[in-house]
A and B are shown apart, each in its own frame.
Chain A
Amino acid sequence: MWQSILKFIQKWFHRFGSPRWFYQTTGKWLPYLAVISVGLLVLGSIWGLGFAPQDARQGNSYRIIFIHVPISVLAMIGYYVMAAAGAVALIWKIKIANMVMVSAAPLGAALTFLALLTGSIWGKPTWGTYWVWDARITSMLILFFLYLGVIALNQAFTSRDTAYKACAILSLVGTVNIPIIYKSVDWWYTLHQPATIKLTGASSIHPDMLKPLIVMILGFYCFYALVLMLNTRTEILAREWRSSWVRGLSQ
């Protein structure tokens, strides 16, 4: 059974590994993904900002969680996407995996920056400070620097293969930071509160607030996939411009 699953993955890998196939297939998906993500984000925003109840203690300022939480989740998931693509590229030498990896870096950096920014804006009215060097916030800042490091490494080499290899290794080394960010609020005393939505056990948020939050999280997942595909397509065009099929696109 394992053999047949492996065979299937291999077959899929090789098809998906062709930049041309990736470009053409994602081109068909993009409009649907765009409609779904915009729809979910608009629905979630109106629901969260307009209809979800106020918080008993924070009043309306808690509503920033509808942006902050999904962005932070994807900033971390995005790192695994980048590192997994890097691992696949290292092991199987698949071109497209390299392209996905370097396309995920600026997207992840932007999300991490926004997570820090929205957290800071929320921190002032709630905690009384914009910034504090606690374990959660500091490890999130390290995540931001890791993304910047991948972006910088990608541009630091004249050889494409060397640049991709260096990015993949840095991505893999940085994965250790993700569980640290996630568990930081449980392992150490921090100012940042522990997780509200728990993987196991009941969430400590009222269902009327949780529902729009989940819509926003799903919306941001779709948005992430959409932007990652767009970035990867740009990377494909930049790297494959010599091939006849790319030249054919412009005619």
Chain B
Amino acid sequence: MKPARKQRLQLVIFIVSVASIGIGLAVYALRDNINLFYTPSQMLAGEAPQNTRIRVGGMVVVDSFVRNEDSLDTAFEVTDGAANIQIQYSGILPDLFAEDEAAVALGYWTSEKIFKAEEVMAKHDEEYTPPEVADAMEKAHQATDKNAPGLH
């Protein structure tokens, strides 16, 4: 390679690496702000600010969902596996909202350890399965559960 080209190649490598390191450090410094939501564990550990609009995300706990008969008021719990928090919400839920599925709520974390949500979004997972396959997997799952009663 000719010296002039070698020099320009070094310049290109320099530009790319300096930009990567610089932006990489900036993104690393901002990592907590880049997260879309807090996890229930973080909230209970006091990492989330109270009385400002924040988001919380987690799996909707099975059998935790309650709907008021006369209004749109709903309540449910989300979990990250380690901690649960109670969410209260009044409004229409997205179609994909369901127990044992992930959801993200936007709202206020109150001092009574209850999250008052203004908006609830369903978080879809990366799995795509046809209905028959999903049914079959569900049945297989139940069958193994029955065969292993000790695990309940």
Contact = CB atoms under 8 A, between A and B. Distances in A.
A58 interface: yes
B81 to A, nearest CB: 14
A56 B124 CA distance: 12
Interface stretch (B5-13, B45-53, B60-68, B69-77): B5-13
Contact of B15 (A54, A169, A180, A196): A169
Contacts of B44: none
Interface string A7-51: 000000000000000000000000000000000000000000000
A193 B31 CA distance: 18
Residue of A53, A65, A128 ringed by the most chain B CB atoms within 10 A:
A128
B94 A188 contact: no
A134 B36 contact: yes
B36 A56 contact: no
Interface in A53-69: 53-58, 62, 65
A190 B97 CA distance: 17
B121 A91 contact: no
Contacts of B131: 53-56
B115 to A, nearest CB: 16
B84 interface: no
Interface string B131-147: 11111000000000000
Contacts of B123: 127, 191, 193
B20 A132 contact: no
Given A180-B27, A188-B34, A62 B122 contact: no
Interface string B94-113: 11111001001000000000
Contact of A176 (B20, B94, B97): B20
A125 B96 CA distance: 8
Nearest to B94: A128
Contacts of A180: 23, 27
B5 A54 contact: no
Contacts of A195: 126
A57 B126 CA distance: 12
Contacts of A132: 36, 121
A44 to B, nearest CB: 16
B12 A128 contact: no
A70 B39 CA distance: 32
Given A91-B12, A132-B36, A176-B20, A204 B126 contact: yes
A135 B112 CA distance: 30
Contacts of B149: none
A65 to B, nearest CB: 8
Contacts of B34: 135, 187-188
Contact of B130 (A55, A91, A129, A176): A55
Contacts of A194: 126
Given A53-B131, A188-B35, A127 B124 contact: yes
14 contacts: A55-B128, A55-B129, A56-B133, A91-B5, A91-B8, A91-B9, A126-B95, A135-B35, A169-B15, A173-B16, A177-B23, A190-B36, A196-B126, A206-B129
Interface of A: 53-58, 62, 65, 87, 90-92, 125-129, 132-135, 169, 172-173, 175-177, 180, 187-191, 193-196, 204-206, 208-209
Interface of B: 5, 8-9, 11-12, 15-16, 19-20, 23-24, 27, 31, 34-37, 39, 57, 93-98, 101, 104, 119-135
